Structure 1
């Protein structure tokens, strides 16, 4: 594996809410791919090769008079990440049914217990979008259903889907770090039916699924919706997240263009997750 270097930005934010959520959303659109919230604000990461000196120019909240936001940044070697996330990563429990934790955390009393080492990957369950996707999966019958986890990050959603009886499953991410981390987490959780794929929507050619889970961001979802619709089996389910409540009309219109029918909405701190049926 190549020695990927990340740039870490450390933001101090006052007042914290809703500024941190807005900041993370805008940083995502700017190209940042991983985030850790903390009591002072948030840390955001971007691969050095994707970074430029003007990366924050379009992050509008930094120009707002409503919030005081300061930051500093530096380079982070890949090998330093374990120490970084270990300081910030606490176990989470969703709906008293699913826990997401690190190997060094005590095992909780939940039906589904997922053990991950997220490294630089997105998808620990702490972010609202991952949390809501877990909620969707928990209340969906997935027994023997084929599932796609698109933009899989750590692979946590695919792992939970397999725990709920889904098979076979594909977990896809274009980022090499996420791909390798998902492979590790799939093995760590003894998942036997998940194929991890490094790639984007072009990797889905000729594939079909009963359920598609796509937790990415608004622009990628809009760009790839036609591909998702083409891959979704009759009476299939599409779960989408990675965008705000104000993005719902755009997302819904694109889904309806491909004959996907809105079924359900979850909302958490202005982030939303939508369910559509084919």
Structure 2
């Protein structure tokens, strides 16, 4: 079971300090953010945390803003209540809705119903939104798809709704693994297989389309594994990082001869689409 460390930051004035703070925390491994009227709460896995993790967060030393914070350990059993307090329905391009069972159905073309057991903060909203936008534009009919770092299973579920078959969804977190299975069943999906594990599971596999919505460091570490299982003329979609990370990701991907085809940016988060030639 993975616990998280939560930092609740009170920020004055709130903007643009909160946006800068989120970007700098993301570079240190914080992976989820929930904004509120006073600032933001940031979450990092306990295994990625260290006692001096905030020392390199430059904005905390700025004279332009007043930022205070409190720290706490968040047990996994608290995630569902945290999510219910903060999760809002997502609608993408008036075509896709991502909602909880207690949200009203907006009757869009695609309706994904999820009930996560993990945080669903602002950062996750941004990257999920962009990855859905990328998938909207792709023909997924009978494409073999990988959703790496599947989280709640949203992107795998949407891929099946768009005709993908078969689909592998992988996450290293046991809660994400179990939650993805539940959400796959909730959405009556028939072609998704969920696995618990990491990039080692990709050995010997091949895919037409790879979806990887994970933080920058993991993407860079596992890049070779992704590239080894991407079919010729395949597509790979990356997100989970910031605009300032684009040169680092791009330089690594170009080593494998892929071509950058589309970039989507949203509140300093980014999604990149690459094509294998």
Q: TM-score, normalised by structure 1?
A: 0.90
Distance in 2 between residues matched to 1:100 and 1:254, nearest whole Å: 32
For residues 1-278 of structure 1, the aligned pairs below 5 Å read 2=1, 4-48=2-46, 50-122=48-120, 127-278=125-276
Distance in 2 between residues matched to 1:219 and 1:212, nearest whole Å: 17
The answer (yes or no) to whether the contact 2:31–2:215 under 8 Å persists in 1 is no
Query: SS of the counterpart of 1:58?
Result: coil
Query: Which shifted more, 182-191 or 163-172?
Result: 182-191
Structure 1 residues 116-157: Cα deviation after superposition (integer angstroms, max 9, x where no partner): 112224588862221110100111110110111111111111
**Larger relative contact order (CA 8 Å, sep ≥ 6):** 2
CA positional deviation for 1:189: 1.3
**CA gap 1:146/1:96 in 2 versus in 1, 3 angstroms:** same
CA positional deviation for 1:99: 0.7
Query: Which shifted more, 167-176 or 59-68?
Result: 59-68
Query: SS of the counterpart of 2:147?
Result: strand
Structure 1 residues 222-261: Cα deviation after superposition (integer angstroms, max 9, x where no partner): 2222211111101100111122222222211111110111
Cα RMSD for the two superposed structures: 2.1
CA positional deviation for 1:162: 0.8
Query: What are structure 1's unaligned runs of at least 5 residues?
Result: none
**CA gap 1:62/1:184 in 2 versus in 1, 3 angstroms:** farther
Distance in 1 between residues matched to 2:158 and 2:28, nearest whole Å: 30
Size of the aligned set, in residue pairs, is 276
CA positional deviation for 1:49: 5.0
Q: TM-score, normalised by structure 2?
A: 0.91
Runs of 4+ residues deviating >6 angstroms:
none
Query: SS of the counterpart of 2:40?
Result: strand
The answer (yes or no) to whether the contact 1:8–1:46 under 8 Å persists in 2 is yes
The answer (yes or no) to whether the contact 2:32–2:122 under 8 Å persists in 1 is no
Query: SS of the counterpart of 2:101?
Result: coil
**CA gap 1:16/1:165 in 2 versus in 1, 3 angstroms:** farther
